[in-house]
Amino acid sequence: MHRRTRLSLRSSSINDKENEHEQAQLTASPRKRRSKVTDSGVKDAELPEEDGARSPKKVARKAGRPRVLPPAEEDVEELEDAAHGTGASDLVGKLPEREKEYDELVGFVEGVLSSDGSGSLYISGPPGTGKTATLQRILNHPSFAKKLKPVYINCTSIKSVGSIYKKISEELGLKVGGTTEKQYQGAIEAHLERKHKTIMLVLDEIDQLSSSKQTILYSIFEWPARPTARLILIGIANALDLTDRLLARLQARCELKPQLIQFLPYTKQQIVAILKASLEESNSLSRFPEAALGLLAAKVASTSGDIRRALFIARRLVESAKKEDRKTGSSGAPTVVSMGQVMAVLKQVYGASQTLGNDLEEGFPLQQKILICSLMLMLKHGKNKDITVGKLYDVYKAICTKRNIQAVDQTEFISLCTLVETRGIVRLQGKKEPRMHRVCLQWDEQEVTSALNDKQLIASILSDVSCLGK
Amino acid sequence: HASQVGTPKRNIQLSNIIEECSNGRRVSRLLELSPKQLEPLPIEEPKTPKRNSRLSSVGATLPSSASKGTPKSANKMKLIRDGTIKPNIHSRDAPVQDGANELAVARERLHVSATPSSLPCREKEYEEIYNFLEGKIFDGCGGCMYISGVPGTGKTATTTAVLRALKHLSEEEDIPKFEFVDINGMRLTEPRQAYVHIYRQLTGKTLAWEQAYNLLNKRFTTKAPRRITTVLLVDELDILCNKRQDVVYNLLNWPTMPTAQLIVVTIANTMDLPERLLMGKISSRLGLTRLTFQPYNFRQLQEIVMARLVGMSAFNSDAVQLVARKVAAVSGDARRALDICRRATELADDQARKSNESVTVSMIHVQQALTEMITSAKVKTIRSCSRLEQLFLQAVTAEVTRTGIEECNFLGVYSQFESLAAFSGIIVPNPGRAMAICARLAASRLLICECGKSDIYQKILLNISTDDVHFALQASKLL
């Protein structure tokens, strides 16, 4: 039954990995863990390199270690077939389309190891570009496993910025005299001065460590420059210029400056390749025509290049195709995802305000419509574009009286404004007095018109300049 | 009570347990020991020797624990934390007798808390959530869903109804078993307490958040072949977002792990919360399964109210329609419609009692309830102000019209005040008095005064529209 587990997206596996690793370190004693790493690493090497984050799972299962990584499959039945019928041999151990970065990283680590010194590295890239997954591959690399002591910490898991030292010393298995931050830091620094195996310290989501004076980030990035230290420090975050912005003083000394590696968003071809590999694995590639894949990849690549999104949409489409299968009875050829379906899902996912219009047809309360129309009127014809809730209320009331509609009270009006705000149409900014909040329209007029779906009302209010007063 | 004096810190950590015992002050009295958990107590007794001496007397005073030979009350907190004793509330000796009149029954049924067995007008959303959860539970994998919508549109009710149905199915073994945990952002004193609550619902034990986090992380990241799916419902997601957003990150990161088998359903009001508030890496993990609950229109509101009153003739259907139309025009909030209907039944009940004959709720009652609810208290307040206060308000409006700026200072208002007073033949109070008047008006929030500085340069803002002032004072002689 638990094999079903592996249904989750591949994107998920990327993250899993980090946490599992972390977990493994929490649970297992360092020595044990190391042996496990070696074990899996060797297996990894034997595999033909094809598909990254996924492979270690089965490898892991074979090796019987707790840290496991599932493949990202999309189809239940087919997945189960695959799971039952195959061993680790058809599993592959590489991340498609991240070979260059991987080689660069391996080169960096090898360089540091051969020079017997230290080095620091900063990896940046938008979410969902495979940073952590690639790093996990490095951590599990067979030839490094013997020479390195890997320490992986996800910085979101720590209590406060200062407790990172405690976490690191726990991971290193150090004995610490006291419980203060200073003592933990001292212990780590003492450890770095003694003779030790090269440590590979990976700090994921390193932007969580920034504080007002950045003392902690500075002191961590300063460790590799210690004469006796043998430390490979790798920081991962989304911001491109984090080291320049937060750690400007590192620029002054070249030996302290971390090397930068960027993970660019996936391009269309890359997404197609990854989706193909992932669908291939679950034998559901036949469900996806080439053109549909291309369309999906083009859309995702043009907006974010986030592989999690692409896999999510693909999964959703395969699921709906499967549902179709179940409905019609399982005989015959599997349902193929049509272009229309792809378009529909993409539209739903990316066209927020357009779809909103369809939903809203009847669901938009009249008073809220009038509120938005009065705001538009003020923006279009009013002199002052700095609109507060109080001013808006006056205009709204004038419009209501003119139309013979009972206007709501001011307190009610303020809550109306917040209701409209939850739709993202306007935004209230500001001071503590609700009457003095500034109202900003977040959508342009066309979007609002299509969302309200009541041209007559809008036109009549927008032409009603006399309601503005004065 | 000695046990509280002794352990104030623990009380804070366990805020929630104590909250559940209605008033928190008499916790120890409200706790009762379930009989089967009595065995482990003697073992735990020696673990807290320090407090034993101090608190043993308290234990003796507790009737429930003393009679059963239960532990000293120093252990009480420990027992609560272990989940061996459960908080409960004193029950009434006899249930409250309700007048079995039809209006009272209608009132009961119209109460917001009386969730009906099936939710009218939310079939599509129900279907969507059901399909999502059922699919995920069948596949045994994790996932996230984000549900949004304005308050009172049935988000939580629909979601819990789906989960109830699924739970029922899983008990009949039609679908795999699953565990259900729910947290509400508003019920947490701090975002990180979410870990504590989740862990307590899974195991019954209360731990510090750090420990709870570590154990949860262990649970969700290690593989366990016999693990069953966990469904986590997070209500009021936006409250869990602190600056670092680590709690939201972790809650949404766990489902992405295949070992976790965790399905997270998040509920919030704001439609574009993931884009507006959450960091990119978190909204990337939240995924794209989203569902928006639209506000009810008047037909739906009518159907909701009528569904609750089915088989009763206490309500005039036109009256319901009026309520539905009024509420749908403003917010589409079902709670509000139900509240107004309840109020209308109360008014009808009053009338019935007075006239001693049966009354159905009609348009008149609804109209009355509506004016009570959607009434403008401000006009009334202005009308009941003293003469000088009214004059002062008028002076403020005059100053606003003169300068054209909403913000005016006391000096300008006072000169207007002086001339207005002279005009209507009142002796002008000195500035000190006028300031007192101004302060009184500010306290009732008719005016907004800049606090801290109460000299003649203080800024004064009108908190009501000028029309309201004119309208309210039209009747009086001042205009």
Q: Tell me which chain A residues have a C-beta less than 8 angstroms from the C-beta of B140.
A: 1-2, 4-5, 7
- Cα(B427)–Cα(B433) distance, rounded to whole angstroms? 12
Please report which confidence band the pLDDT of residue A417 belongs to, taking 50, 70 and 90 as the band edges: very high
Instruction: Render pLDDT for A125-159 as a digit per residue (tens, 0 to 9).
Output: 998 888 888 888 888 888 888 888 888 888 888 88
pLDDT at A362 over 50: yes
Q: Could you tell me the CA-to-CA distances from B157 to B201, B230, B267, B328, B333 in Å, in that order?
A: 20, 19, 11, 19, 13
Structure tokens at B71: 């532990």
pLDDT at A348 over 90: no
Which region, left, alpha or beta, applies to residue A97 given φ > 0 means left and ψ of -120 to 50 means alpha? left
Give the pLDDT confidence score for residue B60 in this predicted structure: 41
Q: Give A66→chain B minimum CA distance, Å.
A: 6
In angstroms, how far is the first alpha carbon of chain B from the final one?
Answer: 62
pLDDT at A262 over 50: yes
Comparing CB atoms, the residue among B259, B270, B280 nearest residue A127 is B280
Give the pLDDT confidence score for residue B12 in this predicted structure: 43
Q: Could you tell me the CA-to-CA distances from A464 to A54, A467, B143, B361 in Å, in that order?
A: 62, 6, 50, 41
pLDDT at B40 over 70: no
B163, B267 in Cβ contact below 8 A?
no
Of A147-151, A251-255, A437-441, B281-285, give the lowest mean pLDDT range. A251-255
Please report which confidence band the pLDDT of residue A343 belongs to, taking 50, 70 and 90 as the band edges: confident
pLDDT at B281 over 70: yes
pLDDT at A384 over 90: no
Give the type of residue at B390.
Answer: Q
**Interchain contact, A156 vs B288, CB within 8 Å:** no
A139, A21 in Cβ contact below 8 A?
yes
Nearest to A369 by CA among A423, A302, A294: A423
Q: Could you tell me the CA-to-CA distances from A360 to A165, A366, B303 in Å, in that order?
A: 52, 12, 19
Q: Are strands B262-268 and B447-449 parallel, antiparallel or unpaired?
A: unpaired
- Cα(B477)–Cα(B475) distance, rounded to whole angstroms? 7
Q: Which residue has the tokens 């606090």?
A: B451
Give mean pLDDT, residues B457-474. Answer: 85
Of all residues in chain A, the percent with pLDDT exceeding 90 is 6
Instruction: Render pLDDT for B3-31 as a digit per residue (tens, 0 to 9).
Output: 444 444 444 444 444 444 444 444 444 44
Give the pLDDT confidence score for residue B399 in this predicted structure: 92
B301, B332 in Cβ contact below 8 A?
yes
Question: CB-based contacts of B286: which residues, under 8 Å, 6+ apart?
Answer: B144, B146, B252, B266, B274, B278
Please report which confidence band the pLDDT of residue B183 belongs to, taking 50, 70 and 90 as the band edges: very high
Q: Which residue has the tokens 């320490």?
A: A151
Give mean pLDDT, residues B232-247. Answer: 90
Please report which confidence band the pLDDT of residue B397 belongs to, taking 50, 70 and 90 as the band edges: very high
| Distance, CA of B173 to chain centre | 35
Q: Give A233→chain B minimum CA distance, Å.
A: 22
Give the pLDDT confidence score for residue A331 in this predicted structure: 58
Give mean pLDDT, residues B182-205. Answer: 93
- Cα(B74)–Cα(B55) distance, rounded to whole angstroms? 6
Q: Give B304→chain A minimum CA distance, Å.
A: 15
Q: At what angle do helices B334-355 and B363-373 cross, to 10 degrees?
A: 120
**Interchain contact, B217 vs A408, CB within 8 Å:** no
**Which residue out of A11, A14, A17, A19 would a mutagenesis test of the B interface target, given it has the greatest number of B Cβ atoms within 10 Å?**
A19
Give mean pLDDT, residues A15-29. Answer: 43
**Interchain contact, A308 vs B287, CB within 8 Å:** yes
Give the pLDDT confidence score for residue A1 in this predicted structure: 44
Of A427-436, B166-175, B390-399, B447-456, give the lowest mean pLDDT range. B447-456
pLDDT at B414 over 90: yes
Residues 364-383 of chain A whose Cβ lies under 8 A from any Cβ of chain B: 364-368
In angstroms, how far is the first alpha carbon of chain A from the final one?
Answer: 73
Give mean pLDDT, residues A246-267. Answer: 85
Give mean pLDDT, residues B316-343. Answer: 89
> Does residue A415 belong to the interface with chain B, where contact is any CB pair within 8 Å?
yes
Give mean pLDDT, residues A32-48. Answer: 40
Q: At what angle do helices A366-381 and A410-422 cross, to 10 degrees?
A: 90
Is pTM beyond 0.90? Reply is no
Q: Tell me which chain B residues have a C-beta less than 8 angstroms from the C-beta of A399.
A: none
Please report which confidence band the pLDDT of residue A279 belongs to, taking 50, 70 and 90 as the band edges: confident
Instruction: Render pLDDT for A313-331 as a digit per residue (tens, 0 to 9).
Output: 888 888 888 777 777 765 5
Give the pLDDT confidence score for residue A176 in this predicted structure: 83
Chain A: residue whose CA lies nearest to B465: A394
CA neighbours closer than 13 Å in the CB half-sphere of residue B392? 29
Please report which confidence band the pLDDT of residue B184 belongs to, taking 50, 70 and 90 as the band edges: very high
**Interchain contact, A312 vs B150, CB within 8 Å:** no
- Cα(A321)–Cα(A74) distance, rounded to whole angstroms? 11
Which class for A66: exposed (0-12), middle (13-18), buried (19 or more C-beta within 10 A)? middle
> Does residue A265 belong to the interface with chain B, where contact is any CB pair within 8 Å?
no
Which class for B91: exposed (0-12), middle (13-18), buried (19 or more C-beta within 10 A)? exposed
pLDDT at B189 over 90: yes
- Cα(A416)–Cα(A414) distance, rounded to whole angstroms? 5
Q: Give B31→chain A minimum CA distance, Å.
A: 33
Give the pLDDT confidence score for residue B198 in this predicted structure: 94
Q: How many residues does chain B have?
A: 479
Better-predicted residue by pLDDT, B168 or B114? B168
Instruction: Render pLDDT for B89-145 as a digit per residue (tens, 0 to 9).
Output: 888 888 777 666 788 888 888 888 887 888 888 998 999 999 899 888 888 888 899
Q: Tell me which chain A residues have a C-beta less than 8 angstroms from the C-beta of B227.
A: 2
Q: Which residue has the tokens 């004065």?
A: A470
The highest-confidence range among A241-245, A426-430, B86-90, B181-185, by mean pLDDT, is B181-185
> Does residue A94 belong to the interface with chain B, where contact is any CB pair within 8 Å?
no
Structure tokens at A46: 């034997």
A425, A451 in Cβ contact below 8 A?
yes
Q: Could you tell me the CA-to-CA distances from A188 to A29, A170, A216 in Å, in that order?
A: 18, 10, 13
Complex ipTM tops 0.90? no
Instruction: Render pLDDT for B359-396 as a digit per residue (tens, 0 to 9).
Output: 888 889 998 888 887 666 788 888 889 989 999 999 99
**Interchain contact, A8 vs B331, CB within 8 Å:** no
Instruction: Render pLDDT for A77-128 as a digit per residue (tens, 0 to 9).
Output: 333 333 333 222 223 356 777 888 888 888 888 888 888 888 888 999 998 8
